[in-house]
Structure 1
Amino acid sequence: MVGLACKCPRTRLPVGASALGAFVLCWLYVFPAYRLPAEKDIVQGVLLQQGKAWRRNRTAGTAFRKLLEDCCDPGHLFAMTKQNSPMGKNLWFDGEFLYSFTIDNATYSLFPQATPFQLPLKKCSVVGNGGILKKSGCGRQIDQADFVMRCNLPPLSSEFSKDVGSKTQLVTANPSIIRKRFQNLLWSRKAFVNSVKVYNHSYIYMPAFSMKTGTEPSLRVYYTLEDFGANQTVLFANPNFLRDIGKFWKSKGIHAKRLSTGLFLVSAALGLCEEVTIYGFWPFSVDLHGRFISHHYYDNVLPDSGFHAMPEEFLQLWFLHKSGVLRMQLEQCAEPSLQSAV
Structure 2
Amino acid sequence: MNRTRLHAAGKMLVRCYRAKLSVCAALCVLVLCWFYIFPVYRLPSEKEMVDEVLRQGDVWQKNQTGIDLYRKLLTDCCNPQGMFAVTKKNSPMGKVLWYDGEFYHSHTVNNETFPLFVEDNPLPLPLKKCAVIGNSGILRHSKCGQHIDQADFIMRSNLPPLTKEYVEDVGHRTHLVTANPSIIERRFQNLLWSRKVFVENMKVYSSSYIYMPAFSMKPCTDPSLRAYYALADTSSNLTMLFANPEFLHSLSKFWKARNIHAKRLSTGLYLVSLALGLCEEVTAYGFWPFSIGLDERPVSHHYYDNILPYSYYHTMPEEFLQLWQLHKSGTLRMRIGRCPP
Q: What SS class does the counterpart of residue 186 from structure 2 fall into?
A: helix
Residue 46 of structure 1 is matched in structure 2 by 53
Q: How does 1:10-159 map to 2 (within 5 A)?
A: 10=16, 22-51=29-58, 53-159=59-165
- The separation in 2 between residues aligned to 1:298 and 1:30, in whole angstroms, is 33
TM-score normalised to structure 2 length: 0.93
Residue 333 of structure 2 is matched in structure 1 by 327
Q: How many residues align?
A: 333
Residue 246 of structure 2 is matched in structure 1 by 240
Residue 193 of structure 1 is matched in structure 2 by 199
Inter-CA distance 42–120: structure 2 relative to 1 (3 Å threshold): same
1:22 CA drift (Å): 4.7
Report sequence identity in percent.
61
Q: What SS class does the counterpart of residue 113 from structure 2 fall into?
A: helix
Q: What SS class does the counterpart of residue 213 from structure 1 fall into?
A: helix
Contact 2:66 2:331 (C-alpha < 8 Å) held by counterparts: yes
- The separation in 2 between residues aligned to 1:31 and 1:164, in whole angstroms, is 35
- The separation in 2 between residues aligned to 1:320 and 1:25, in whole angstroms, is 29
Contact 2:177 2:208 (C-alpha < 8 Å) held by counterparts: yes
> Per-residue CA shift, 1:278-304, capped at 9, x if unaligned?
000000011111111111100111111
- The separation in 1 between residues aligned to 2:136 and 2:36, in whole angstroms, is 33
1:17 CA drift (Å): 11
1:19 CA drift (Å): 7.1
> Per-residue CA shift, 1:292-332, capped at 9, x if unaligned?
11111001111112210000000000000001110000121
Q: Tell me, which stretches of 5 or more residues in structure 1 are unaligned?
A: 336-342
Residue 229 of structure 1 is matched in structure 2 by 235
- The separation in 2 between residues aligned to 1:188 and 1:20, in whole angstroms, is 54
Residue 260 of structure 2 is matched in structure 1 by 254
Inter-CA distance 194–66: structure 2 relative to 1 (3 Å threshold): same
- The separation in 2 between residues aligned to 1:121 and 1:45, in whole angstroms, is 31
2:291 is the counterpart of 1:275: no
2:163 is the counterpart of 1:163: no
- The separation in 1 between residues aligned to 2:125 and 2:268, in whole angstroms, is 21
1:62 CA drift (Å): 0.2
Inter-CA distance 16–303: structure 2 relative to 1 (3 Å threshold): farther
- The separation in 1 between residues aligned to 2:221 and 2:28, in whole angstroms, is 38
2:197 is the counterpart of 1:178: no
1:36 CA drift (Å): 1.6
Alpha-carbon RMSD: 2.1
TM-score normalised to structure 1 length: 0.92
Q: What SS class does the counterpart of residue 334 from structure 2 fall into?
A: strand
- The separation in 1 between residues aligned to 2:27 and 2:196, in whole angstroms, is 52
- The separation in 2 between residues aligned to 1:97 and 1:225, in whole angstroms, is 29
Contact 2:46 2:292 (C-alpha < 8 Å) held by counterparts: no
Query: Larger Rg: 1 or 2?
Result: 2
Of residues 268-277 and 98-107 in structure 1, the stretch that sits farther from structure 2 once superposed is 98-107
Q: Tell me, which stretches of 5 or more residues in structure 2 are unaligned?
A: none
Of residues 155-164 and 179-188 in structure 1, the stretch that sits farther from structure 2 once superposed is 179-188
- The separation in 1 between residues aligned to 2:318 and 2:194, in whole angstroms, is 37
